[in-house]
């Protein structure tokens, strides 16, 4: 009877959604860095179909 949505139902561990700097979409995927870049991470936007970097 008591039906409500659980906000953590679709969260498995850490789900880091980075906002795309081009279209502000959160439909992004984190990619593994190829080089020894420890202070930045590579992401890929599925809406723009192009990668972007995020500095941490």
Find out whether 52 and 41 touch, Cβ atoms under 8 Å. Answer: no
- Write the CA distances from 42 to 2, 4, 6, 11, 31, integer angstroms: 42, 36, 30, 22, 5
Residues in 7-46 that interact with Zn ion by CB under 5 A:
20, 22-23, 25, 45
Does 48 bind Zn ion (CB under 5 A)? Our answer is: yes
Tell me the site size for Zn ion, rule CB under 5 A: 7
- Pick the closer one to Zn ion by CB: 31 or 47: 47
Binding stretches for Zn ion (CB under 5 A): 20, 22-23, 25, 45, 47-48
């Amino acid at each position: 009877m008591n039906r409500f949505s659980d906000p953590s139902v679709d969260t498995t561990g850490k789900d880091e959604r980075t906002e795309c700097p081009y279209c502000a979409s959160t439909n992004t995927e984190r990619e593994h860095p190829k080089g020894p870049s420890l202070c930045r991470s590579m992401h890929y936007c599925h809406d723009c179909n192009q990668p972007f970097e995020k500095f941490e």
